[in-house]
């Protein structure tokens, strides 16, 4: 509240207040001639106050503002339609040595007995603009990295999936040629070889069609599924693998989980990949910490979680940053695609894939979470 006391204080100290403000404050008359400037103006523009007061304010403006300024003031005074006055906007200003920099300008009209004056408050936006630019560049770099890694994943899975039928096609073609080289070529066997060759080429075509669907984001076929049911089904798929290496698969499934809207085949693929990795990690330490892998499900907030806990190597600090990158592997036979493809699948489902090293004991737990309920797209 302004009382008589602090009115007086303000009158005594107004100049000090003006000079302590970090923004430049400039007053001009209706002819655009500078009447006063505060301390910050001098620092910002590099002039002395004698060089500014009495001079046209346009000397602080680069073109095209310089030319428009006077007609703008006159226009305002006759029509009172404001473009800046009472509103404020981003513009450019120019220093004594010709450096143009971004500013935010707010102007107010001061009505006095001698007519209209204007006070402009100028904030230097150089730093703010530089920060914005840096942020934009960083976002662009991230987007680029994202695109590259998706392309890396795509390329690898195309290579992987098409290589098999192509190898088979080449083998059948060679076999057929050999058969035909003989004088009494067995045409029935040749026909059989060609049929198989044809089947493999259709398979390669199907892979390409799937990739095209994936690129068009029609990749997955989602439905409402019981995730516990999915994991139980998985037992048959993963158990053989586990048994082969004398590793035990245990299930701890929380009953009454809500149904999830997801592509059941893809979700099983993700879980299977995590189990394969878990088995590898346990074998790497010769199962010295035990032979049990636990696959569990539970609700975490509104998300359903599937976790695969192993007693393997755990994830080292140096391995961690690369873990989900395509082609990163610590295995002699590994392709390094498992986790990066799994994470893509999870992101496509509106979920996520992550891991923790086990707090007690050894090994790590890889888990994925999916939003429960109808539709998460």
Q: Please give the full DSSP string across 279-338, using - where no structure is assigned.
A: HHHHHHTTTTT-SEEEEEEEEETTEEEEEEE--S----TTTGGGTTSTT---SSS--S-H
Nearer to ligand ATP, 38 or 313 (CB): 313
Nearer to Mg ion, 120 or 338 (CB): 338
Residue 299 within binding range of ligand ATP, rule CB under 6 A:
no
Residue 346 within binding range of ligand ATP, rule CB under 6 A:
no
Residue 338 within binding range of ligand ATP, rule CB under 6 A:
yes
Q: Exposed (0-12), middle (13-18) or buried (19+): which is 217, by Cβ within 10 Å?
A: exposed
**In a 3-state reduction of DSSP, which class is residue 116?**
strand
Return the one option of ligand ATP, Mg ion, none that residue 319 interacts with (CB less than 5 to 8 A, by type). Answer: ligand ATP
**In a 3-state reduction of DSSP, which class is residue 351?**
coil
Return the one option of ligand ATP, Mg ion, none that residue 312 interacts with (CB less than 5 to 8 A, by type). Answer: ligand ATP
Residue 152 within binding range of ligand ATP, rule CB under 6 A:
no
Nearer to ligand ATP, 273 or 297 (CB): 273
Nearer to Mg ion, 37 or 308 (CB): 308
Nearer to ligand ATP, 303 or 364 (CB): 364
Using CB under 5 A, list all residues that contact Mg ion: 277, 338
Residue 312 within binding range of ligand ATP, rule CB under 6 A:
yes
Our measurement of the distance from residue 147's CA atom to the centroid of its chain's CA atoms, rounded to an integer in Å, reads 10
Nearest residue to 364 via CA among 319, 300, 329: 319
Return the one option of ligand ATP, Mg ion, none that residue 281 interacts with (CB less than 5 to 8 A, by type). Answer: ligand ATP
CB neighbours (10 Å) of residue 303?
A: 18
Gap between the Cα atoms of 169 and 346, Å rounded = 34
What does residue 64 show for φ and ψ, rounded to 5 degrees? Answer: -90, -5
329: CB partners within 8 A, 6+ apart:
335, 336
Nearest residue to 249 via CA among 286, 284, 274, 229: 274
Return the one option of ligand ATP, Mg ion, none that residue 198 interacts with (CB less than 5 to 8 A, by type). Answer: none
Return the one option of ligand ATP, Mg ion, none that residue 141 interacts with (CB less than 5 to 8 A, by type). Answer: none
Residue 200 within binding range of ligand ATP, rule CB under 6 A:
no
Count the site residues for ligand ATP by CB under 6 A: 23
Residue nearest to Mg ion (CB): 338
Binding to ligand ATP by CB under 6 A, coded x per residue (else -) over 260-289, reads: -------------x---xx--x--------
């Amino acid at each position: 509240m302004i009382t008589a006391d602090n009115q007086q204080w303000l009158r005594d100290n107004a100049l000090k207040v003006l000079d302590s403000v970090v923004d430049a404050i400039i007053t001009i008359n209706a002819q655009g001639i500078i009447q006063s400037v505060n301390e910050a103006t001098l620092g910002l523009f590099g002039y002395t106050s004698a060089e500014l007061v009495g001079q046209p304010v346009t000397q602080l403006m680069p073109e095209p503002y310089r030319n428009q300024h006077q007609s703008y003031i006159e226009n305002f005074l006759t029509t009172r339609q404001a473009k800046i006055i009472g509103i404020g906007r981003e513009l450019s200003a120019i220093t004594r040595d010709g450096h143009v920099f971004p500013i935010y300008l707010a102007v107010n009209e001061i009505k006095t007995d001698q007519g209209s004056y204007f006070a402009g408050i100028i904030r230097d936006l150089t730093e703010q603009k530089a920060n914005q630019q840096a942020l934009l560049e960083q976002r662009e770099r991230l987007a680029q990295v994202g695109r590259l890694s998706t392309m890396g994943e795509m390329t690898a899975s195309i290579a992987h999936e098409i290589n098999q039928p192509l190898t088979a096609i080449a083998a059948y073609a060679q076999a057929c040629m050999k058969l035909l080289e003989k004088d009494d070529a067995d045409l029935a066997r040749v026909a059989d070889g060609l049929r198989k060759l044809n089947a493999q080429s259709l398979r390669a075509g199907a892979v390409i069609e799937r990739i095209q669907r994936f690129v068009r984001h029609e990749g997955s076929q989602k439905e409402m599924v019981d995730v516990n049911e999915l994991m139980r089904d998985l037992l048959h798929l993963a158990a053989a693998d586990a048994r082969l290496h004398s590793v035990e698969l245990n299930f701890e499934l929380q009953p009454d989980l809500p149904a999830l809207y997801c592509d059941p085949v893809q979700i099983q693929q993700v879980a299977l990949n995590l189990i394969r990795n878990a088995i590898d990690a346990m074998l790497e330490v010769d199962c010295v910490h035990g032979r049990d892998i636990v696959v569990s499900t539970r609700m975490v907030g509104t998300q359903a979680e599937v976790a695969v806990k192993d007693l393997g190597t755990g994830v080292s600090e140096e391995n961690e940053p690369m873990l989900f990158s395509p082609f990163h592997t610590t295995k002699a036979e590994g392709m390094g695609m498992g986790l990066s493809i799994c994470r893509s699948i999870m992101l496509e489902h509106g979920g996520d894939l992550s891991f923790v090293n086990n707090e007690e004991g050894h090994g790590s737990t890889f888990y994925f979470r999916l939003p429960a309920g109808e539709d998460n797209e």
